[in-house]
């Protein structure tokens, strides 16, 4: 069982230690007390309604002064030392989640205005959290052991459940930006969790398509489940299959590198996964990241985005947890930039074929780090395993 200890930082922000099950020990006040003289937290920024697109835009001017790629001895998410009193008071930790000091949303929570029009503004309610994967300043998620990766999965699930219950929250989004080319502001391996007071545009599009499909089948099938079935039956874009999860390059991939990781049963979010499913997820997710990094001589920048069901009565029944792992890297020394067609029109043009990308990912030999549920690159694809909700 993962050890969980909750405390607060000097300015009142919440911080939670998630300790690996095998080494979990009670945390004491000596290792959880923040002694820094921090200023009081500010009020939320604002959200503005874009009447042209029917979308909310957050305005967070206070983030201009946030920390940007500090040297290792000044890293704010390394363990605290006498010379570096960081955001994490303990001299060591396994996984830590804490409220961002420079949040795009929050710290207050509540709903956005219910009948917006041109000129409508409101407080940027919500929650932004940082997830520190390891006390080590260098490395990446793919270098974690499976026990540590499992602790991160538990942290994602725990925070999803808690944040989903906050007033006004409509969507909880765990994600990781990896690499300077993606725009990270800290080198230390970490991810983030945003809890939005509205359904984001991308989630709204996916949710509407899922609901349309769900209604067309009289509630008997889900869109993501049907796509999983189609990809497994075709086989040419499959990357791996496990007992509870499968990964594939989608038929209409937008990015040069794009992988979807999908559970074999419909669940709305990470909090709904069983212990067995979380165990396997830690294994297959590490496998995917290692395959991605093995494609080129240097680490590949990526965005790892967990698509969870919005907290919306219409969209949630048809929604289906899945990961979308994407990278703009189209060659060893080339990145795909979103220019006219993609950035202005949202019309993607992919420079690679999904089938060739899947073949390259399947061909990667990933060394086993420790015993775990098996997930293999597909050979001959047969019937879906029992329990698959398509």
Q: Is 35 a catalytic residue?
A: no
Catalytic residue, from 190, 307, 322, 389: name it.
190
**Residue 262: φ, ψ to 5°:** -130, 130
Per this entry, what is the length of the chain? 390
Measured CA distances, 41 to 28, 74, 78, 359 (Å): 25, 21, 22, 50
Just list the catalytic residues. Answer: 190
């Amino acid at each position: 069982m993962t050890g969980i200890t909750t405390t607060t930082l000097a300015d009142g922000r919440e911080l939670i230690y998630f300790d690996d099950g095998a080494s979990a020990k009670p945390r004491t006040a000596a290792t959880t007390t923040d002694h820094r003289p921090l200023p009081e937290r500010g009020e939320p920024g604002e959200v503005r309604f874009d009447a042209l697109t029917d979308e909310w835009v957050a305005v967070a001017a206070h983030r201009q002064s946030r920390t940007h790629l500090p040297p290792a001895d000044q890293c704010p998410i390394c363990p605290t030392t006498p010379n570096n009193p960081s955001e994490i008071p303990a001299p060591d930790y396994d996984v830590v989640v804490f409220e961002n000091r420079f949040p795009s949303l929050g710290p207050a929570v509540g709903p956005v205005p219910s009948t917006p029009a041109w000129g409508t503004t409101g407080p940027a309610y919500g929650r932004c959290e940082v997830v520190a994967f390891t006390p080590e300043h260098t490395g990446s998620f793919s270098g974690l052991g499976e026990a540590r990766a499992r602790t991160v999965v538990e942290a994602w699930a725990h925070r999803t459940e808690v944040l989903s219950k906050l007033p006004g929250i409509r969507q909880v989004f765990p994600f990781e930006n990896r690499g300077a080319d993606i725009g990270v502001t800290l080198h230390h391996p970490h991810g983030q969790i945003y809890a939005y007071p509205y359904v984001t545009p991308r989630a709204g599009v996916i949710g509407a398509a899922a609901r349309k499909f769900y209604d067309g089948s009289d509630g008997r099938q889900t869109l993501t489940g049907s796509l999983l079935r189609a990809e497994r039956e075709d086989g040419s874009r499959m990357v791996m299959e496990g007992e509870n999860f499968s990964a594939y390059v989608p038929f209409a991939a937008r990015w040069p590198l794009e992988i979807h990781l999908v559970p074999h049963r419909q669940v709305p979010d990470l909090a709904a996964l069983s212990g067995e499913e979380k165990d396997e997820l830690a294994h297959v997710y590490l496998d995917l990241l290692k395959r991605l990094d093995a494609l080129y001589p240097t680490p590949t920048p990526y965005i790892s985005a967990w698509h969870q069901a919005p907290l919306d009565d219409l969209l949630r029944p048809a929604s289906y947890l899945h990961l979308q792992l994407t990278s703009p890297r189209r060659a060893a020394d080339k990145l795909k930039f979103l220019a006219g067609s993609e950035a202005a029109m949202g019309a993607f043009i992919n420079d690679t074929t999904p089938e060739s990308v899947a073949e390259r990912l399947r061909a990667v030999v990933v060394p086993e780090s420790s015993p775990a549920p098996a997930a293999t690159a597909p050979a001959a694809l047969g019937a879906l395993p029992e329990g698959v909700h398509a």
